Protein backbone atom coordinates (compact mmCIF):
# COMPACT_ATOMS: atom_id res chain seq x y z
CA UNK A 1 0.00 0.00 0.00
CA UNK A 2 1.35 3.42 -1.01
CA UNK A 3 1.33 6.05 1.72
CA UNK A 4 -0.36 9.21 0.41
CA UNK A 5 1.91 12.21 -0.03
CA UNK A 6 2.04 14.17 3.20
CA UNK A 7 2.03 17.39 1.19
CA UNK A 8 -0.63 16.97 -1.51
CA UNK A 9 -2.31 13.62 -0.74
CA UNK A 10 -1.42 12.00 -4.07
CA UNK A 11 -0.64 8.28 -4.26
CA UNK A 12 1.04 8.62 -7.66
CA UNK A 13 4.70 7.90 -6.92
CA UNK A 14 7.57 6.72 -9.09
CA UNK A 15 11.12 5.76 -8.17
CA UNK A 16 13.43 8.72 -8.75
CA UNK A 17 16.60 7.10 -7.40
CA UNK A 18 17.60 3.74 -5.92
CA UNK A 19 21.09 2.94 -4.73
CA UNK A 20 23.66 4.10 -2.19
CA UNK A 21 22.86 7.24 -0.21
CA UNK A 22 25.03 9.14 2.22
CA UNK A 23 24.82 7.80 5.76
CA UNK A 24 26.32 10.47 7.98
CA UNK A 25 29.73 11.87 7.08
CA UNK A 26 30.96 12.01 3.46
CA UNK A 27 32.14 8.69 2.06
CA UNK A 28 29.84 6.53 4.23
CA UNK A 29 26.87 5.05 2.40
CA UNK A 30 23.78 2.91 2.98
CA UNK A 31 21.03 1.58 0.75
CA UNK A 32 18.18 3.93 -0.08
CA UNK A 33 15.26 4.54 -2.41
CA UNK A 34 13.79 7.92 -3.29
CA UNK A 35 10.25 8.22 -4.64
CA UNK A 36 8.86 11.27 -6.47
CA UNK A 37 5.28 12.41 -6.06
CA UNK A 38 3.35 12.84 -9.31
CA UNK A 39 1.11 15.41 -7.63
CA UNK A 40 3.39 18.07 -6.11
CA UNK A 41 6.77 16.84 -7.35
CA UNK A 42 8.40 16.44 -3.94
CA UNK A 43 10.78 13.53 -3.45
CA UNK A 44 10.80 11.49 -0.24
CA UNK A 45 13.00 8.80 1.21
CA UNK A 46 11.09 5.55 1.55
CA UNK A 47 10.14 4.86 5.16
CA UNK A 48 12.15 1.65 5.60
CA UNK A 49 15.38 3.57 4.96
CA UNK A 50 14.68 6.43 7.39
CA UNK A 51 16.33 7.05 10.73
CA UNK A 52 14.36 6.98 13.97
CA UNK A 53 13.29 10.57 14.80
CA UNK A 54 14.61 10.02 18.33
CA UNK A 55 18.14 10.65 17.01
CA UNK A 56 17.44 14.40 17.07
CA UNK A 57 16.47 14.39 20.75
CA UNK A 58 19.43 12.36 21.97
CA UNK A 59 22.29 13.81 19.93
CA UNK A 60 22.81 10.59 17.94
CA UNK A 61 22.25 12.61 14.77
CA UNK A 62 25.36 14.71 15.43
CA UNK A 63 27.39 11.60 16.23
CA UNK A 64 26.27 10.08 12.93
CA UNK A 65 27.76 13.11 11.18
CA UNK A 66 30.95 12.75 13.25
CA UNK A 67 30.43 16.28 14.57
CA UNK A 68 31.66 17.27 18.03
CA UNK A 69 28.79 18.19 20.34
CA UNK A 70 30.88 20.58 22.42
CA UNK A 71 32.34 23.90 21.37
CA UNK A 72 34.51 24.86 19.57
CA UNK A 73 34.40 21.91 17.17
CA UNK A 74 30.66 21.98 16.67
CA UNK A 75 30.51 25.74 16.27
CA UNK A 76 33.18 25.72 13.56
CA UNK A 77 30.88 23.55 11.45
CA UNK A 78 27.93 25.95 11.72
CA UNK A 79 29.22 29.49 12.10
CA UNK A 80 30.34 30.02 8.51
CA UNK A 81 27.15 28.58 7.02
CA UNK A 82 24.87 30.69 9.22
CA UNK A 83 26.95 33.80 8.58
CA UNK A 84 26.75 33.30 4.81
CA UNK A 85 22.97 32.89 4.87
CA UNK A 86 22.48 35.91 7.14
CA UNK A 87 24.78 38.08 5.04
CA UNK A 88 22.79 37.24 1.90
CA UNK A 89 19.51 37.95 3.69
CA UNK A 90 20.57 41.07 5.55
CA UNK A 91 18.78 43.55 3.21
CA UNK A 92 15.54 41.70 4.00
CA UNK A 93 15.99 41.70 7.80
CA UNK A 94 15.14 44.34 10.38
CA UNK A 95 16.00 42.60 13.63
CA UNK A 96 16.68 45.42 16.07
CA UNK A 97 14.52 45.04 19.15
CA UNK A 98 12.54 42.18 17.64
CA UNK A 99 11.68 38.72 19.00
CA UNK A 100 13.71 36.22 16.98
CA UNK A 101 13.34 32.43 17.11
CA UNK A 102 15.51 29.77 15.49
CA UNK A 103 13.81 26.41 14.89
CA UNK A 104 16.62 23.87 14.92
CA UNK A 105 18.94 26.18 16.81
CA UNK A 106 21.58 23.53 17.65
CA UNK A 107 24.18 25.30 19.84
CA UNK A 108 22.90 28.75 18.89
CA UNK A 109 25.18 29.72 16.03
CA UNK A 110 22.54 31.81 14.22
CA UNK A 111 21.21 33.40 17.41
CA UNK A 112 24.75 34.25 18.52
CA UNK A 113 25.12 36.34 15.37
CA UNK A 114 21.85 38.29 15.77
CA UNK A 115 21.51 38.69 19.55
CA UNK A 116 23.13 42.14 19.47
CA UNK A 117 20.22 43.30 17.32
CA UNK A 118 17.33 41.20 18.59
CA UNK A 119 15.29 42.14 21.62
CA UNK A 120 14.76 38.50 22.64
CA UNK A 121 16.12 35.24 21.23
CA UNK A 122 14.27 31.93 21.38
CA UNK A 123 16.12 28.68 20.71
CA UNK A 124 13.80 25.90 19.55
CA UNK A 125 15.95 22.78 19.62
CA UNK A 126 15.05 19.10 20.28
CA UNK A 127 18.55 17.91 21.23
CA UNK A 128 18.57 17.81 25.02
CA UNK A 129 22.38 18.04 25.21
CA UNK A 130 22.21 21.55 23.78
CA UNK A 131 19.64 22.92 26.23
CA UNK A 132 21.92 23.93 29.11
CA UNK A 133 24.55 25.61 26.87
CA UNK A 134 21.76 27.56 25.15
CA UNK A 135 20.29 28.63 28.48
CA UNK A 136 23.75 29.69 29.65
CA UNK A 137 23.83 32.11 26.71
CA UNK A 138 20.59 33.66 27.90
CA UNK A 139 18.26 32.14 25.31
CA UNK A 140 14.79 30.85 26.06
CA UNK A 141 14.96 27.14 25.16
CA UNK A 142 12.01 25.08 23.90
CA UNK A 143 12.22 21.58 22.33
CA UNK A 144 9.69 21.99 19.49
CA UNK A 145 7.57 24.77 17.99
CA UNK A 146 4.45 22.92 19.16
CA UNK A 147 5.70 23.34 22.75
CA UNK A 148 6.14 27.11 22.41
CA UNK A 149 2.61 28.26 23.28
CA UNK A 150 4.02 31.16 25.30
CA UNK A 151 5.39 32.61 22.05
CA UNK A 152 2.35 32.06 19.84
CA UNK A 153 1.79 35.26 17.88
CA UNK A 154 4.89 36.84 19.44
CA UNK A 155 7.82 36.20 17.06
CA UNK A 156 8.77 38.86 14.54
CA UNK A 157 11.29 36.62 12.80
CA UNK A 158 11.53 32.83 12.80
CA UNK A 159 14.46 31.11 11.10
CA UNK A 160 14.63 27.43 10.20
CA UNK A 161 17.84 26.53 8.39
CA UNK A 162 18.29 22.98 7.04
CA UNK A 163 15.53 21.46 9.17
CA UNK A 164 12.38 20.88 7.08
CA UNK A 165 14.05 18.11 5.07
CA UNK A 166 14.45 16.08 8.30
CA UNK A 167 10.82 16.24 9.43
CA UNK A 168 8.15 13.55 9.37
CA UNK A 169 5.53 15.87 7.90
CA UNK A 170 6.76 19.15 6.37
CA UNK A 171 3.29 20.72 6.12
CA UNK A 172 2.60 20.14 9.82
CA UNK A 173 6.08 21.43 10.61
CA UNK A 174 5.32 24.73 8.85
CA UNK A 175 1.87 25.00 10.42
CA UNK A 176 3.37 24.63 13.90
CA UNK A 177 5.90 27.38 13.17
CA UNK A 178 3.16 29.58 11.69
CA UNK A 179 1.57 29.77 15.15
CA UNK A 180 4.65 31.62 16.41
CA UNK A 181 4.46 34.50 13.95
CA UNK A 182 3.45 37.93 15.17
CA UNK A 183 1.27 40.07 12.88
CA UNK A 184 3.56 41.00 10.01
CA UNK A 185 6.14 38.45 11.19
CA UNK A 186 8.41 36.59 8.78
CA UNK A 187 9.48 32.96 8.57
CA UNK A 188 12.75 32.23 6.74
CA UNK A 189 13.07 28.64 5.51
CA UNK A 190 16.29 27.28 3.98
CA UNK A 191 16.59 23.76 2.60
CA UNK A 192 18.82 21.95 0.06
CA UNK A 193 17.82 22.45 -3.57
CA UNK A 194 17.18 19.23 -5.49
CA UNK A 195 17.98 21.00 -8.76
CA UNK A 196 21.33 22.41 -7.71
CA UNK A 197 24.03 22.62 -10.34
CA UNK A 198 25.89 19.42 -9.43
CA UNK A 199 22.68 17.39 -9.53
CA UNK A 200 22.33 18.67 -13.10
CA UNK A 201 25.93 18.26 -14.27
CA UNK A 202 27.37 15.37 -12.23
CA UNK A 203 24.30 13.34 -11.22
CA UNK A 204 25.86 9.84 -11.32
CA UNK A 205 28.62 10.68 -8.84
CA UNK A 206 26.88 13.44 -6.90
CA UNK A 207 23.44 11.90 -6.24
CA UNK A 208 24.74 9.21 -3.81
CA UNK A 209 26.45 11.98 -1.85
CA UNK A 210 23.47 14.36 -1.99
CA UNK A 211 20.66 11.96 -1.01
CA UNK A 212 20.91 11.05 2.68
CA UNK A 213 19.48 8.66 5.23
CA UNK A 214 18.73 11.62 7.53
CA UNK A 215 16.83 13.65 4.91
CA UNK A 216 13.26 12.48 4.46
CA UNK A 217 12.35 15.18 1.89
CA UNK A 218 13.97 16.60 -1.25
CA UNK A 219 12.53 19.81 -2.68
CA UNK A 220 12.83 21.83 -5.83
CA UNK A 221 11.37 25.33 -5.66
CA UNK A 222 8.01 24.25 -7.14
CA UNK A 223 7.37 21.43 -4.65
CA UNK A 224 8.45 23.68 -1.79
CA UNK A 225 5.95 26.29 -2.98
CA UNK A 226 3.16 23.68 -2.83
CA UNK A 227 4.20 22.67 0.70
CA UNK A 228 4.13 26.31 1.80
CA UNK A 229 0.69 26.91 0.27
CA UNK A 230 -0.68 23.79 1.97
CA UNK A 231 0.54 25.17 5.29
CA UNK A 232 -1.38 28.41 4.68
CA UNK A 233 1.68 30.64 4.50
CA UNK A 234 2.32 33.50 2.07
CA UNK A 235 5.48 33.67 -0.05
CA UNK A 236 7.15 37.07 0.20
CA UNK A 237 10.51 36.31 -1.45
CA UNK A 238 12.05 33.27 -3.19
CA UNK A 239 15.84 33.02 -3.40
CA UNK A 240 18.62 30.62 -4.25
CA UNK A 241 21.72 30.85 -2.04
CA UNK A 242 24.72 29.06 -3.57
CA UNK A 243 27.55 28.72 -1.09
CA UNK A 244 30.34 27.09 -3.08
CA UNK A 245 32.80 28.63 -5.48
CA UNK A 246 33.72 27.54 -8.97
CA UNK A 247 36.52 25.30 -7.66
CA UNK A 248 33.96 23.01 -6.03
CA UNK A 249 32.30 22.35 -9.40
CA UNK A 250 35.61 21.78 -11.17
CA UNK A 251 36.84 19.29 -8.57
CA UNK A 252 33.54 17.37 -8.58
CA UNK A 253 33.55 17.11 -12.37
CA UNK A 254 37.20 16.02 -12.34
CA UNK A 255 37.30 13.72 -9.31
CA UNK A 256 33.70 12.68 -8.67
CA UNK A 257 33.94 13.22 -4.92
CA UNK A 258 34.15 16.06 -2.39
CA UNK A 259 37.61 17.61 -2.32
CA UNK A 260 37.20 20.30 0.32
CA UNK A 261 38.21 23.84 -0.55
CA UNK A 262 41.17 23.13 -2.83
CA UNK A 263 41.86 26.19 -4.98
CA UNK A 264 42.16 26.32 -8.76
CA UNK A 265 43.61 29.13 -10.87
CA UNK A 266 40.21 30.54 -11.84
CA UNK A 267 38.93 30.47 -8.26
CA UNK A 268 39.05 34.15 -7.29
CA UNK A 269 36.56 36.27 -5.32
CA UNK A 270 35.43 37.96 -8.54
CA UNK A 271 34.85 34.75 -10.51
CA UNK A 272 33.20 33.11 -7.50
CA UNK A 273 30.77 35.99 -7.09
CA UNK A 274 29.90 35.96 -10.80
CA UNK A 275 29.48 32.17 -10.68
CA UNK A 276 27.20 32.24 -7.65
CA UNK A 277 25.07 35.06 -9.07
CA UNK A 278 24.59 33.20 -12.37
CA UNK A 279 23.79 29.88 -10.68
CA UNK A 280 21.31 31.45 -8.27
CA UNK A 281 19.56 33.14 -11.18
CA UNK A 282 19.02 29.75 -12.80
CA UNK A 283 17.52 28.20 -9.62
CA UNK A 284 20.60 25.97 -9.50
CA UNK A 285 22.09 27.16 -6.19
CA UNK A 286 22.61 24.56 -3.49
CA UNK A 287 20.06 26.12 -1.10
CA UNK A 288 16.48 27.27 -1.54
CA UNK A 289 15.48 30.19 0.68
CA UNK A 290 11.88 31.30 1.09
CA UNK A 291 10.81 34.31 3.12
CA UNK A 292 7.22 33.73 4.26
CA UNK A 293 4.40 35.60 5.95
CA UNK A 294 1.66 34.25 8.17
CA UNK A 295 -1.29 34.85 5.83
CA UNK A 296 -1.87 33.99 2.19
pLDDT digits (tens, 9 = 90+) for 20-48: 999 988 889 999 999 999 999 999 999 99
Interacting residues of 230 by C-beta distance below 8 A, sequence separation 6+: 7, 8, 171
* Alpha-carbon Rg for the chain in angstroms: 19
The predicted-structure confidence for 266-293, as pLDDT tens digits, reads as follows 778 888 899 999 999 999 999 999 999 9
Q: What is the pLDDT of residues 91-135, one digit of tens each?
A: 889 999 999 999 999 999 999 999 999 999 999 999 999 999 999
Say which DSSP state 286 is in. S
Do the Cβ atoms of 19 and 59 come closer than 8 Å? Answer: no
pLDDT at 13 over 90: yes
What are the residues whose beta carbons fall under 8 Å from the beta carbon of 14, sequence distance 6 or more?
35, 36, 38
Phi/psi of residue 118, each to 5°?
-70, 150
Angle at 255 between CA 26 and CA 65, to 5 degrees: 5
Q: Is the pLDDT of residue 74 over 80?
A: no
Predicted confidence at residue 1, as pLDDT, reads: 73
pTM reported for the whole predicted model: 0.95
State how far the Cα of 236 lies from the Cα of 278, in Å rounded to an integer.
Answer: 22
Q: How far is CA 176 from the centre of its chain?
A: 17
User: What does the pLDDT read at residue 206?
Assistant: 96
**In the chain, what percentage of residues exceed pLDDT 70?**
96
Give the model confidence (pLDDT) of 182-210 as tens digits: 999 999 999 999 999 999 999 999 999 99
Listed range (47-56, 71-80, 208-217) with the worst mean pLDDT: 71-80
* pLDDT bucket at 17, cuts 50 / 70 / 90: very high
More confident residue, 108 or 72: 108
Average pLDDT, the chain: 93
32-46, 213-227, 244-258, range with the lowest pLDDT: 244-258
pLDDT at 218: 98
Which tens digits make up the pLDDT trace of 259-269? 877 777 777 88
Pairwise CA distance, residues 12 & 33, whole Å: 16
Of the two residues 242 and 258, the one the predictor is more confident about is 242
pLDDT given at position 80: 87
Amino acid sequence: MITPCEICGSTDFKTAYKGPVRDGKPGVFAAGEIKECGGCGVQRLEEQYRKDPEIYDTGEYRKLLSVELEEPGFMRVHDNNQHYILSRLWPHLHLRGRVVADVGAAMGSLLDQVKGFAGECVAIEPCRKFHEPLKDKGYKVIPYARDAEAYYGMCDYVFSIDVIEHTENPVMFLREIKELLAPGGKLIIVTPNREEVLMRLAYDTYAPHWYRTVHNWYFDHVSLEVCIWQAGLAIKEELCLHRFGLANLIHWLKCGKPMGYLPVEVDTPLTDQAWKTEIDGQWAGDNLCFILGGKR
